[in-house]
Amino acid sequence: MAYPVIIIVGPTASGKTGLAIDVAEHLSGEIVSADSRQIYRYMDIGTAKPSPEELARIPHHCIDIRDPDEYFSAGEYSRLARGTIDSLHHYGTAAVVAGGSGLYIKALVEGMFSGGGGDRDLRRQLKEEAERKGLSVLYERFRRIDPAGAAKIHPNDKRRIVRALEVFAVSGQPISKLQREKTVPAGFTPLYFGLDWPRDLLYRRIEERAESMMDAGLVREVETLLDMGFHPALNSMNSVGYKEIISYLRGEVSRAGALDLIKRNTRRYAKRQLTWLRSVGAVTWLPCAPESGSEQHVSRIVREYRAARSAHIHRPGPVKR
């Protein structure tokens, strides 16, 4: 049995950060974020980044590691987070992974294909073709050569469609086939714990947090990012909370309208997160309610982690002949 690693998952606004901090404190451990937006500097309020006080309580990793205009893939996250977790394990420190980005967690645990070769000229040609003929033409080509891969990619995801066609042209193999063959699972055993809120209470928490973000200065945060020169079309800026405020600053919606859009889009995002989490299968779901504290959840997670760690330490060695 590989050494165990706690992974705390759940939809946005479910309380992952607070629970992870409590668990890490009990284990004298450290937290590895699995949030695809908290990696960006200067984006604090809209990403619900841990507060300075929370960051001071427990060492955090994979937070504030890129500027908003820097590219960072799930494959890069996987390599960085795995290296961090392995290093913590080497020194006897428990790693507590916390986050709601399904792609990051999948890449961390299962591995993420990052090869397949590249051809800059071909990539440029494909992008130009998409501009001339429409992205739907490239997506249809992708669907013909790799139906399994195309089924997992949105028809408007230009970057991934172009990448898939580029990989096929260079390698002669569908990208979905290469991904299956060349991903390397992590060297640890994931212990998934999910925060399970009744849907109506989760949506109430989402709406309350959206209002708190506005009160905390989300509009000013977005204004500052734009003043710093970060373009609204950046992937980082096309996040829930930021794109709606950009629309407000452009005069396209009212402040109240932007807040309503943030609430609506966050609820939709939470539904997608839950759909992915239900497919994981190995999650220990922790029932949540407003009147219940985190103590019982912390106790259960710590108990199961220690049992798994003990089983790892005391596993039988190879039989000598």
Please report the DSSP string for 190-247 in residue order.
Answer: EEEEEEE--HHHHHHHHHHHHHHHHHHTHHHHHHHHHHTT--TTSTTTSSTTHHHHHH
pLDDT of residue 114: 59
Least confident of 6-10, 73-77, 95-99, 284-288: 73-77
**d(Cα 158, Cα 235) in Å, to the nearest integer?**
12
Q: Domain 4-112+184-313 belongs to what topology?
A: Rossmann fold (3.40.50)
pLDDT of residue 118: 67
Residues of the chain with CATH 3.40.50.300: 4-112+184-313
Coil, strand or helix at 165: helix
Instruction: Determine the average pLDDT of the residues in 174-185.
Output: 76
**Is the confidence at residue 213, as pLDDT, over 70?**
yes
Give me the residue label for tokens 């539904």. Answer: 271
Would you mind telling me the total number of residues written for the chain in this entry?
Answer: 321
**Is the confidence at residue 113, as pLDDT, over 70?**
no
**Is the confidence at residue 180, as pLDDT, over 80?**
no
Q: How confident is the model at residue 137 (pLDDT cuts 50, 70, 90)?
A: very high
pLDDT in tens, 267-299: 999 999 999 898 887 999 999 998 878 899 999
User: How far apart, in Å, are the Cα atoms of 273 and each of 5, 99, 204, 276?
Assistant: 21, 11, 17, 5
Please state, for a pLDDT cut of 70, what percent of the chain lies above it: 94
**Is the confidence at residue 119, as pLDDT, over 60?**
yes
Residues of the chain with CATH 1.10.20.140: 120-182
**Is the confidence at residue 115, as pLDDT, over 80?**
no
DSSP 116-163: S---HHHHHHHHHHHHHH-HHHHHHHHHHH-HHHHTTS-TT-HHHHHH
Coil, strand or helix at 271: helix
Indicate the average pLDDT of the chain.
Answer: 92
**Is the confidence at residue 179, as pLDDT, over 80?**
no
Q: How confident is the model at residue 181 (pLDDT cuts 50, 70, 90)?
A: low
Q: Domain 120-182 belongs to what topology?
A: Histone, subunit A (1.10.20)
CA 213 to chain CA mean position, Å: 20
**Is the confidence at residue 320, as pLDDT, over 60?**
no
pLDDT of residue 178: 75
Sheet strands side by side (includes 95-98): 60-61, 30-33, 95-98, 4-9, 189-196, 284-287
Q: How confident is the model at residue 319 (pLDDT cuts 50, 70, 90)?
A: very low
The conformation of residue 40, written as its DSSP 8-state character, comes to B
pLDDT of residue 278: 87
User: How far apart, in Å, are the Cα atoms of 172 and each of 88, 146, 159?
Assistant: 40, 11, 19
Give me the residue label for tokens 């998409």. Answer: 130
